Structure 1
Amino acid sequence: MKVSIIGLGRVGSTLAYTLLLKEVAEELVLVNRSADLAEGDALDLQHARLFVDHHVDITAGGVAETTGSNVLAICASAPWKDEFKSRLDAAAANTRLFETLIPPLAKASPDAKILVVSNPVDVLTWHAIRLSGFEPHRVMGTGTLVDSARFRELISDQVGIHPADIRAYALGEHGDSQFMAFSCAEAGGEPLEDRPDRRAMFDEAVHAGIEVFRKKGYTNYAIAMAAAYVIEAIAGDARHTMPLSVLIDGYQGVSGVCLSVPVVVGRKGIIRWMKPELSEAEADAFRRSASVIRSTIVQTLET
């Protein structure tokens, strides 16, 4: 398994370290606008190889070195500006960045799966499909995977069940319009009742990333672990179900935008798009998310 990580900021660097620890890849290629930074990370990780049993070939380079990648993990982002109020504010600049990055990467690795980590992830996943020309099942974004995990972690203490055994998904936009699909949330076959205290937990989960950012200036561990979890599912053909940002084709009356829904992930990428039954209010929320993302995509195409 050859994994190329594009963008060695806090998230990309942590992802590389996580993949080394998890012994997921046989080859890691690190690409960054600053070659020195990528080379420094590669050297640091090479020095860490002694402490894992699985040999990983770790190099820094450019597009040429990514040739033949099985997974392209896109973590690159334009600089965040102080005046930005939400992830969507970075859409135009990161779309321009993707227009320079994705076509040559896709050409160098025509059989790869693309995992978009950069934000706004739903908008950029749509652009990654457009710019790569790849089939939609080979392009996915981390979406609401971390949001869902944060909620499951919070509610696990309340119900006394390990978070891995709780089936609860945040759907829609990875952003302000996302929602918890309580109508299909359950643990051990028992439904997780939609209650005000649990809605408050979900609100806490949605804003947890902002709280981390406020306290330390960035987020990196949870999102890197989430991205590694996706890559691990691809490498091992694990066929785990998880909420990822993928191209929607007719679900709840929505088509042509990328939003998070539960999908099954394996060696070929997205093996199956799940279609959980939603309440009328949840279906409306999903369509509102689609409207938000569609509007932002249009703006990025016009900029």
Structure 2
Amino acid sequence: MTVVAQRITGLPAARVFGSGTVLDTSRLRWRLAQRAGVSTASVHADIVGEHGDSQFPVWSNATIGPVPILDWPADEPFTTEELDRIAVEVRDAAYAVIRGKGATNLAIGVSAARIAEAVIRDEHAVLPVSTVLNGEHGIDGVALSLPSVVSASGALAVAGTPMTPGEEAKLAASAAAIRASLDALEPHAGR
């Protein structure tokens, strides 16, 4: 939808962006903070890719304070298996909410308010919004969530967000999933 909106409006790509994985990232940080016994403000981890089944956390950059998540000192340290389970819980959280109450309108409203705040206050906040990519991580012409600087000028993906080769492959797969959806819309996408 972000790509279609950008094409229809003709606005610069930085001026048209979606909420992306801001909500998913918030859920991830809350869950990790709960598990580690720290404030969510101390957890630095992002969900990237599409807002959907191919999204994933960038564990290689995840920290609690300055400490890499797998090195966090605890009676029971995080394991890669536990982190994988948490990622699935976060990805599937919306499905659980929808089953329970029929919609996820409150949480996305909070996320939209956070994004609007970053724009209105010209915060230059780093948020994982969905922007139309222009070569970042070798991806062009699709909108995916990556850490992006959000300000009154719009949103620009942070160039060079480090990822492992496995994470790069997941991002490419997420881009392929979005491209397939976009290709299905092409006759109607305003090209």
Match of 2:7 among 130, 144, 150: 130
Partner of 1:226: 111
- Aligned equivalents of 2:156, 2:167: Cα separation in 1: 25
Per-residue deviation, 1:247: 1.0
- RMSD, matched Cα: 1.3
Q: In the alignment, what sits opposite 1:292?
A: 177
How do 1:161-176 residues align onto structure 2 when only pairs under 5 Å count?
161-176=38-53
Contact 1:235 1:266 in 2 (8 A): yes
- Give the counterpart letter for 2:20 in structure 1: G
Following TM superposition, by how much is the alpha carbon of 1:166 offset from its aligned partner in structure 2, in angstroms? 1.1
2:45 aligned with 1:160, yes or no? no
Q: Is 2:132 the counterpart of 1:255?
A: no
Q: If each structure's strand is expressed as a fraction of its own residues, which one has the higher value?
A: 1
8 Å Cα contact 2:131-2:157 kept in structure 1: no
Gaps of 5+ in 1: 1-123
Instruction: State the 1:274 CA deviation.
Output: 4.0
Q: After superposition, where does 1:38-187 map in structure 2 within 5 Å?
A: 124-187=1-64
Higher RCO (C-alpha under 8 Å, 6+ residues apart): 2
Equivalent residues of 1:233, 1:267 under 8 A apart: yes
Aligned to 2:73: none
Deviations 1:255-276 (A, max 9, x none): 1110000011111112553431
Partner Cα distance (2:2, 2:115) in 1 = 15
Displacement of 1:187 = 2.0
Identity of aligned residues (%): 33
C-alpha distance in structure 2 between counterparts of 1:272 and 1:283, whole Å = 15
Q: TM-score by structure 1 length?
A: 0.58
SS of residue matched to 1:252: helix
Q: 1:184–1:276: 8 Å Cα contact kept in structure 2? A: no
Matched with 1:190 is 67
Q: Distance in 2 between matches of 1:127 and 1:168?
A: 29
Match of 1:235 among 85, 96, 120: 120
Which one has a bigger Cα radius of gyration?
1
8 A contact 2:146–2:157 mirrored in 1: no
1:136 CA displacement: 0.8
Deviation at 1:220, TM superposition (A): 1.0
- Once the 2 structures are TM-superposed, how far is the Cα of residue 238 of structure 1 from its aligned partner? 1.2
How much has 1:221 moved relative to structure 2?
A: 1.1
1:201 — aligned with what? 86
Aligned residue identity for 1:159: A
Give the residue type in structure 2 aligned to 1:273.
Answer: V
Q: Which runs of 4+ in 1 moved over 6 A?
A: none
